Amino acid sequence: MKERSLKYFTLRYLIIAILGIIALWAASFYWLIIEEVYDNIDDGLQDSKMRILSEAKTNPQLLKTTVYEVAQFKFTPLPSGEYSNDTHIYNSEIYIPYEGEEEPVRILQYIFSQEGQNYQLEIYTSTVEEDELLEDLLMALLALYIALVASVVIINRLVLKKAWSPFYRILENLKHYKIESKNEFKTAPSGITEFNRLENELLTMIRRNENTYDQQKQFIGNASHELQTPLAIVGNKLELLMEDKDITQEQALKVMEIHKILNRLKKLNKSLLTLSKIENEQFSDLTTISFNAIISSALEEFEDLIDFKKINVSIKEKGTFEFQINPQLAGILINNLLTNAVFHNQKNGYVKVTIESNRILVKNSGDHPLNPELIFERFYKDQQNEFSTGLGLAMVKSIVGLYQKLSIVYRFEDDHVFELSNASN
């Protein structure tokens, strides 16, 4: 569904509603005006009728006016018979000599008897030209509609913008709020009840989620810490069992599988414990660290795996990347970036590391992009890997999140690219 701004959404329907209201009002107004005009004309015709009939009684010569001339009436003698005495008024057109064309008129017809002779009296008077009236009315209404729409647009931009400013401020505060960070959700009560209620409900929900988040972090940290000893004991027991002379080959294989799973569990537990410590900001001491040396040292540790997978590794040092950071976190950050590049690489692939003064690029071969919105999430794995915990890049993101000047992004440019940037340089 196509998204639209609320003010434009309401404006569109408001303009349509105004058009419909004006059309209905115009039809009613036109009908009322025409009725009022005809009513006034008819009153004038009735008055003329009474005066003409009164004059005809005193001046019978008037009855010989059988055509419309200067006077706007005429008499037509009728044969003897019974006629209705009702007055009939209707619209018609007659030729007006001085206009040179037919003009719309309103005609009154009345039949009466005088001295035993029946006469039909017809009186006409000019009336409104409905076509011209309708055209003028439509032009006036069009101008009114344009003026109203322009007024609504201006009011919508000025008044509604001011009225909705608290809502956009709340959105902006939500945009900058992150539950994993320590920054507070900023509130600024407005004079609008609905927005104040919305802000209060959001604040209540945020506090509840923060408490839940803290409890989860504490639980993970405590659980991981408490699991260390049992896992170590189980590992030792399995090693002793494997050294038992009476163990069969089949049993030894099963013990080795269990030991393999246990090692993965220990690795996962260690990663969770480290991640919990990072999020709880237990690495507080800071030192200016040169990442160039850390990268070189970390790649040496991967030499066996790099040789086994026949990965071509290259380092370009275009500058020295220095940052004030906890030394242990710096090591975890680089180690996890390089671990991801090596472990999730293809055979005969490559790893290219470019070091500049303000950024580090880690590229590794790959044939399809990963989801940039999920790649730094916990336990996200594009492909199942028994050696992967799905926490390495999550730790990278958490470490970077501790320092405002650091940022990490992922993109795919025919290969996987991770860019670690230092905004202070």
**Domain assignments of the chain as residue spans, ordered by start:** 6-151, 194-279, 287-422
Half-sphere exposure in the Cβ direction for 173 (13 Å, CA): 18
Q: What is the mean pLDDT of the chain?
A: 79
Q: Tens digits of per-residue pLDDT, 119-164?
A: 888 988 887 766 677 777 778 878 887 887 788 777 777 777 777 7
pLDDT at residue 49 tops 80: yes
The pLDDT value given to residue 425: 62
In CATH terms, the superfamily for domain 287-422 is Histidine kinase-like ATPase, C-terminal domain (3.30.565.10)
- For the chain, percent of residues with pLDDT exceeding 70: 82
pLDDT-based confidence at residue 108 (cuts at 50, 70, 90): very high
- Name the CATH code of domain 194-279 (choices 3.40.50.300, 3.40.640.10, 1.10.287.130, 1.10.260.40): 1.10.287.130
Which of 379, 359, 352, 368 minimizes the C-alpha distance to 423?
359
**Across 333-353, average pLDDT:** 85
- For the chain, percent of residues with pLDDT exceeding 90: 1
pLDDT-based confidence at residue 384 (cuts at 50, 70, 90): very low
Q: Tens digits of per-residue pLDDT, 217-257?
A: 676 666 666 666 776 777 777 777 777 777 777 777 777 77
DSSP state string for 329-390: HHHHHHHHHHHHHHHT--TT-EEEEEE-SSEEEEEEE-SS---TTTTTSTT--SS--TT--S
pLDDT-based confidence at residue 98 (cuts at 50, 70, 90): low
Q: Tens digits of per-residue pLDDT, 293-325?
A: 888 888 888 888 888 888 888 888 888 888 888
pLDDT-based confidence at residue 5 (cuts at 50, 70, 90): low
